[in-house]
Amino acid sequence: MPYKDPEKAKECGRKSYHKCKTPEKKERDRLRMNEKRKDPEYNKILQKRSRINKWKNSMRYWGTWEELDEIYMNTEICPLCDCKLSQQNDRYQKSTDHDHFSLYVRDIVCKNCNNRRGKVDRNKMFLHLELYRYFNRQ
């Protein structure tokens, strides 16, 4: 039964929370996580989860996020410049290209092509803005 006094409810909630967080349990959890982090399969899962969460926060996709991740992992050649994509932080690093206006994913390209497409998008936006200003002055 819920407490009628909100202060009493808060106090009981704090007690039950801290009862589970003993120093021994915290140490066991920390050791268990350190063991998990050494596992390469677990690291792959963490990287995939991190990549998908980053995409969800900044982009939209027509299919499922797992499909996009599968495409991302299997793409090895940039469809625009035909260079071999790499995982290192250089100009040929894999990048998820998306339209900044609709936020939809377009393709998996190299960092270099992604930057060029971004410049084209910005120039297109400035052109539309200037046309809008020009024709709405009258």
pLDDT at residue 121, as a whole number: 86
pLDDT of residue 12: 66
pLDDT at 16: 59
pLDDT at 120 over 60: yes
Q: Does domain 38-135 have CATH number 3.30.2310?
A: no
pLDDT surpasses 70 at 20: no
Tokens of 79: 């469809």
Residue 119 has pLDDT above 70, yes or no: yes
**Residues whose CB falls within 8 Å of the CB of residue 52, separated by 6 or more in sequence, listed in order:** 65, 66, 68, 69
- pLDDT tens, 80-110? 999 999 888 788 889 898 887 888 898 899 9
* Residue matched to tokens 């350190």: 34
| pLDDT tens profile 29-81 | 888 888 888 888 888 888 888 888 888 888 888 788 889 889 999 999 999 99
| The pLDDT of residue 103 | 84
Question: Which pLDDT score, from 0 to 100, does residue 62 have?
Answer: 79
The full set of domain ranges for the chain reads 38-135
Residues 63-69: contacts with CB within 8 Å, 24+ apart?
Answer: 68/96, 68/105
Confidence of residue 2 (pLDDT cuts 50, 70, 90): low
